[in-house]
């Protein structure tokens, strides 16, 4: 492997968490903007709700990554990561059920194209909710492994027992 490629790989690993934080901020802003736009302009409240939920799960993902970035002493407990994991599973399942539901509703109403007032536009926001749920699951699992399995000596024991 060349020296330049090694440096690029190190830089990629170093800034991975920063890229996740930037992506989560962009996802939260897009979700909030979509929520307001679909509610006020298009009166598509289904899309507005799922855009808002997508923003909420992006904020959860942002909170998880930002907390880990600021946790220099590794005081985040395993239960906290389990809670994030559960929230991610909830978002993934809810988004997937909504995705299937709105695909079926769009097909049964013979919706053509992607009108802003239709059901197929809701599929986009429910898919984004699935994406943020899966990202939260993946991050919570990887941080749990990083914190508790690969370097257990660095983790403080905060139990009261």
| Nearest C-alpha neighbor of 139 from the set 73, 26, 52, 57 | 57
Residue 151 has a pLDDT of: 63
Residues whose CB is less than 8 angstroms from the CB of residue 144 and which lie 6 or more positions away in sequence, other chains included: 78, 81, 82, 85
Burial bucket for residue 18 (CB in 10 Å: 0-12, 13-18, 19+): exposed
Domain layout of the chain by residue ranges: 3-150
Confidence category of residue 62, pLDDT binned at 50, 70, 90: very high
Confidence category of residue 159, pLDDT binned at 50, 70, 90: very low
| Tens digits of residue pLDDT in 17-37 | 889 999 999 999 999 999 999
Q: Reply yes or no on whether the pLDDT at 57 is more than 90.
A: yes
Q: Could you give the maximum distance between any two Cα atoms of the chain, in Å?
A: 61
Q: 3-state DSSP call for residue 71?
A: coil
DSSP state, 152?
A: G
- Say which range, 81-90, 125-134, 144-153, has the weakest mean pLDDT: 144-153
Q: Reply yes or no on whether the pLDDT at 48 is more than 80.
A: yes
Q: 3-state DSSP call for residue 57?
A: helix
| Tens digits of residue pLDDT in 68-118 | 989 888 889 999 999 999 999 999 999 999 999 999 999 999 999 899 999
Mean pLDDT across the chain, nearest whole number?
90
Q: How far is CA 73 from CA 76, 130, 156, in A?
A: 9, 32, 8
């Amino acid at each position: 492997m060349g020296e330049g490629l090694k440096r690029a790989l190190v830089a990629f690993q170093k800034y991975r968490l920063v890229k996740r934080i930037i992506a989560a901020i962009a996802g939260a802003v897009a979700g909030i903007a979509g929520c307001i736009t679909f509610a006020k302009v298009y009166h598509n409240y289904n899309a507005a709700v799922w855009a808002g939920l997508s923003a909420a799960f992006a904020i959860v993902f942002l909170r998880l990554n930002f907390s880990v970035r600021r946790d220099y002493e590794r005081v985040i407990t395993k239960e906290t990561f389990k809670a994030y994991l559960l929230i991610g599973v909830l978002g993934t399942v809810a988004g997937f059920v909504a995705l299937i539901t709105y695909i079926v509703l769009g097909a049964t109403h013979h919706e053509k194209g992607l009108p802003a007032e239709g059901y197929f536009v809701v599929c986009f926001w429910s898919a984004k909710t699935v994406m943020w749920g899966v990202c939260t699951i993946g991050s919570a699992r990887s941080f749990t492994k990083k914190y508790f399995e690969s370097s257990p000596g660095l983790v403080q024991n905060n139990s009261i027992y």
